[in-house]
Amino acid sequence: MTRILLHSRLDDCLAAWRSAGFTVLAPTRRNELTRFDEVQVASDMELDLVLPERTIKDHFFPQTEPLIRYRIKKQAIDTEEMLPPERKRIFFGVRPCDASGLDIDDSLFGWDYRDDYWFRRRDNSVIVTIACTKADDFCMCTSVQLAPDSTKGSDVMLTTLKDGRGWQVVALTDRGKALVETASSILREEPAEAAAASTVPVKFDLERVTAWLAEPSNFESHFWKEISQRCIGCGSCTFLCPTCHCFDIQDEGDTYSGIRRKNWDSCSFAMFTMHTSGHNPRNTQSTRWRQRIMHKFNYYQGKFGVNSCSGCGRCTRQCPVDMGITETLQEISNLPR
């Protein structure tokens, strides 16, 4: 016997969740863009996508967010923290790669300092993932030790039924179990067979790649210049990445009052490492691209024991000059030893 959510009951399920006080976000296509956004009914959702163009990271670590409001007075500075509201949210129809991305970033945001802006949103969100039954040319989860049905980062896992009537429902965490309970009268218990997960070919040998990256003499390899020659230095790959998490702190206002904000930043930009003196330690695009790869597959691994890539493939899918992690790691894995 398996717990099942039928497509025909999805609207009832959404209604039950909404009446339990949740806001439901799901993949949508609005204003010529696919992204997670608030939905009311099932027909608002775009569940057929391989992946939405934007990641759910946006809803935990927004592109710009206020941190504090400040006012400078004669003898004092008043500050007021601007924490995000504690809103109960369900993310429905997340792909396993995006869910894993959240899990990967938890390490960073909870490391030397617990980032309340991230965790307040994380702790109030339930991730309902749908295992992938289709993939495109850019998907590469299997190359980074994940899979189209990975459960990492998910609270509830939905697996498409073979007969296409709905999904098999498996709660993975306490938060997931509690959520499934709120919809228990809508779910059915019956025998069912799940459809096969999509096939995603392995594109590179991760062990070979990480071993090459770990070799100090390769840091200055000519390879980096060759592979990044066509990189134009935009931030598309970093901003669409489910795990890239770099930010910049900016004060907006005047001398006396304003708002301190946390804005996305990108290691692809020359400004990212520009010193006040004008000296830039990463002064060519090849050194910036190397940083991105090293950070994801060497430094992050060293610090947190996990690679900072969940294999969604957006970096290649959306790159204006057809670069991306896949090509670079493929080339590294094919280098003669």
Partner 1 sequence: MGIQEQYRNEAAELLSSGAVKLVIGYGEGSTADRRRPVFIRTAEEAGRLVVDANCLANLSSYLVQEGLMSDGKSVAVFLKPDGIRSVNILAAEAQLNPDQVVILGFDIGAGDASPLPGRKASDFTPLIESLKTAGLSPELQHEADRLELMSAAERFDFWKEQFSKCIKCYACRQVCPMCYCRRCIVDVNQPQWVNTSSHTLGNFEWNIVRAYHLAGRCVACGGCDRSCPVNIPLRLINHRMAKEALDAFDHFAGESTDQKPVLATFRQDDPETFIL
Candidate list 142, 168, 266, 310; residue touching partner 1; CB under 8 A:
266
Report the residue from 89, 261, 290, 292 that binds partner 1 according to the rule CB under 8 A: 261
Cα distances (Å, whole numbers) of residue 143 to 57, 152, 311, 333: 21, 15, 7, 11
List binders of partner 1 among 103-142 (CB under 8 A): 137-138
Residues 108/110/112/116 CA torsion (nearest 10 deg): 120
324 counts as binding partner 1 under rule CB under 8 A: yes
201 is a contact residue toward partner 1 (CB under 8 A) = no
Q: Between 100 and 236, whose beta carbon lies closer to partner 1?
A: 236
User: Least separation, in Å, of the C-beta of 158 and partner 1?
Assistant: 27
Phi/psi-derived region of residue 188, left when phi > 0, alpha when psi is between -120 and 50, beta in every other case: beta
Residue 263 in the binding site for partner 1 (CB under 8 A): yes
Q: Is there binding between residue 229 and partner 1 (CB under 8 A)?
A: yes
Site for partner 1 in 300-319 (CB under 8 A): 316, 318
Enumerate residues 54-73 that contact partner 1 by CB under 8 A.
54, 63-64
Question: Do strands 156-160 and 125-130 pair parallel, antiparallel, or not at all (unpaired)?
Answer: parallel
Which of residues 5, 51, 169, 240 is near partner 1 by CB under 8 A?
A: 240
Q: Where are the alpha helices (DSSP H) in the chain?
A: 10-19, 96-109, 116-123, 174-182, 206-214, 223-227, 236-239, 285-294, 300-304, 314-317, 325-334
Kindly state whether residue 255 participates in binding partner 1, applying the rule CB under 8 A: no
Closest CA to 133 of 173, 162, 92: 162
β-strand pairing of 257-264 with 89-94? unpaired
Residues 6+ apart with CB under 8 A from 11: 41, 42
HSE of 146 in the Cβ direction (CA atoms, 13 Å)?
29
Per the DSSP assignment, residues forming a β-bridge with 189 are: 3
Name the one range near partner 1 by CB under 8 A: 74-82, 113-121, 186-194, 247-255: 247-255
Q: Determine, following the binding rule CB under 8 A, whether residue 291 of this chain makes contact with partner 1.
A: no
- Applying CB under 8 A, the span of 2-10, 15-23, 25-33, 118-126 interacting with partner 1 comes to 25-33
Which range binds partner 1 by CB under 8 A, 94-102, 106-114, 167-175, 233-241? 233-241
If one asks whether residue 224 binds partner 1 (CB under 8 A), the answer comes out as: no
Residue labelled with tokens 């950070």: 295
Question: Running DSSP on this structure, what letter comes out for residue 161?
Answer: B
Query: With CB under 8 A as the contact rule, which of the stretches 14-22, 125-133, 176-184, 324-332 interacts with partner 1?
Result: 324-332
Q: Name the residue nearer to partner 1 (CB basis): 190 or 322.
A: 322
Judged by beta carbon, residue 280 or residue 301, the one nearer partner 1 is 280
207-211 CB contacts, 8 Å cutoff, 24+ apart: 208/332, 208/333, 208/337, 209/297, 209/329, 209/332, 209/333, 210/297, 210/298, 210/301, 210/307
* 81 scored as a contact of partner 1 (CB under 8 A): no
Number of residues that bind partner 1 (CB under 8 A): 39
The site for partner 1 (CB under 8 A) is made up of: 31-33, 53-54, 63-64, 137-138, 229-230, 232-236, 238-240, 248, 250, 252, 261, 263-264, 266, 269-271, 276, 316, 318, 320-324, 326-327
